[in-house]
Structure 1
Amino acid sequence: MAIAEVTVIPIGTGSTSLSSYVADMQRVLKTIEGITYELTSMGTIIEGPLPRILAAAEALHESPFTAGAQRVSTSLKIDDRRDKPSTSRGKLEAVERKLRED
């Protein structure tokens, strides 16, 4: 299973507020099977098989265009670990364990 962080920024929307676009994108994610996701203040974390993550990223990128944006900038980071199962929560817990050891 892969983990990705996706940030989608509609450009030239006429407003500095993007929350309506973000809400639309979260609705889109609900329709995509085979992934889990978590909204953060700076993007969305998506977990699942790589093909499903890429499909989700494409759907997220298209969402602002559907809502009227004329330009969209999308950043995608993927952590695809294949030697053992990995989750976003597991990565955080590993750091927390290290901090407790101090």
Structure 2
Amino acid sequence: MPIAEVTVIPIGTGSTSLSAYVADMQRVLETVEGVTYELTSMGTIIEGPLQRILAAVEALHESPFTNGAQRVSTAVKIDDRRDKSSSSRSKLESVERKLHADPAE
């Protein structure tokens, strides 16, 4: 299943604080069917079918405009692994197992 990392930056908002925009974007994500998501301190991780992820990215990108931003910069990174099932959690668990493995093995 594809995993995307999305960062949306409203520009020209009149304030250095963007948390109200981020909160609104999280509310928008609640309305997008077929995806799961996790807010991080630097962006949002979205998992689901690619078409649903892209619909979520479009909704996120539009959200600041509807809340008064005059310019929006959106960065998207997509990991689409098709040889086996994957998730954000499984990727982290794989690294954690390797961190705790015996180096002699």
| TM-score normalised by the chain length of structure 1 | 0.99
Computed over aligned residues only, the root mean square deviation of the Cα atoms, in angstroms, reads 0.5
Aligned to 1:35: 35
SS of the residue corresponding to residue 33 of structure 1 reads: coil
Aligned to 1:14: 14
SS of the residue corresponding to residue 81 of structure 1 reads: coil
Q: Residue 43 of structure 1: CA displacement?
A: 0.1
Q: Aligned AA for 2:55?
A: A
Separation of aligned partners in 1, 2:41 and 2:74: 15
SS of the residue corresponding to residue 74 of structure 1 reads: strand
| TM-score normalised by the chain length of structure 2 | 0.96
**Structure 1 unaligned runs (5+)?**
none
Aligned to 1:2: 2
Aligned-residue identity in percent: 83
Separation of aligned partners in 1, 2:27 and 2:82: 30
Number of residue equivalences: 102
**Structure 2 unaligned runs (5+)?**
none
SS of the residue corresponding to residue 5 of structure 2 reads: strand
Alignment of 1:1-102 (within 5 A): 1-101=1-101, 102=103
Q: Aligned AA for 1:99?
A: L
Q: Aligned AA for 2:69?
A: A
